[in-house]
Structure 1
Amino acid sequence: MDLQDQLKNLFPDHKEEPAEQSEDSNKKIWLQDDPIICKYEKRKGKPITILEGYTGATEDFKKLAKELKTKLSVGGSFKDDKIIIQGDYRDKIMAMLEEKGFIVKRVGG
């Protein structure tokens, strides 16, 4: 008897909640007609990736920034309606955004 069976015996009326809430929050992000610009720069000799051109709500863009930083396991920030990611992750970021339905334009190299 594994742990799940023991829990079902202890709490027979308990119903499990679906764990798909994170996907629902992704669908609420407003998609735009204009492309998001993904560009590469070097600041103080270190590479960074900058995303700009989002015309939706600032809170949605902040959620997107947090999700990108978490999935890539890198640092970054959100300043002046731009997402700044440490490192050159243009290809990965563009693939993630296209999966979500965004139009992305690569600029600079």
Structure 2
Amino acid sequence: MARDNEWKNLGGLVFSTNPDVNLNQQEEEEETLDAADQKLRIWLDRKKRKGKAVTLITGFEGNDDDLKSLAKSLKTYCGVGGSAKDGEILVQGDQRDKVLKFLLDKGYGQTKKSGG
């Protein structure tokens, strides 16, 4: 069964005529910076959301598991829904003050509100 799942780890590459292609290469996990070293920005965004406001946290540097863990903590703290992908966290509604307080309490010292 393990052999069946090996092709899924190749990122869609099934065959190549290039002799330099390494089919056994694994993607390296991006290392997550410490909380104090993260430079996060908190925005209020209404674009492409039919006028609904969302709080957008950008600038997270690290792997997806840590991003999703932080997003889950933020959503639980604020009591709302949201999502996390591509280094950004979306929290439903205008939660900028709550998010800023939460992140500063967790040690994200270089966190700032940005935008209007």
**Which residue number in structure 1 is paired with residue 102 of structure 2?**
96
**Which residue number in structure 2 is paired with residue 33 of structure 1?**
37
Residues 8-19 of structure 1: matches in 2 within 5 Å?
Answer: none
Runs of 4 or more above 3 Å deviation: none
Is 1:108 aligned to 2:112, yes or no? no
**Which residue number in structure 2 is paired with residue 51 of structure 1?**
57
Q: Distance in 2 between matches of 1:34 and 1:67?
A: 17
Indicate the SS of the match to 2:53: strand
- Larger % of helix: which? 1
Indicate the SS of the match to 1:88: coil
Q: Which runs of 5+ in 2 are unaligned?
A: 1-32
Residue identity in the other structure for 2:111: V
Q: Distance in 2 between matches of 1:32 and 1:82?
A: 18
1:34: Cα distance to partner?
Answer: 4.3
Against the structure 1 CA distance between its residues 38 and 78, is the aligned structure 2 distance closer, same or farther, given a 3 Å change threshold?
same
CA contact (8 A) 1:32 1:56 kept: no
**Which residue number in structure 2 is paired with residue 24 of structure 1?**
none
Query: In the TM superposition, what whole-angstrom CA distance separates every residue of 1:56-102 from its partner, at most 9, and x where no partner exists?
Result: 22211110100111111101011222100110000110000000110
Identity of aligned residues (%): 43
**Which residue number in structure 1 is paired with residue 85 of structure 2?**
79
Q: Distance in 2 between matches of 1:36 and 1:94?
A: 10
Q: Distance in 1 between matches of 2:85 and 2:64?
A: 10
- Larger % of strand: which? 1
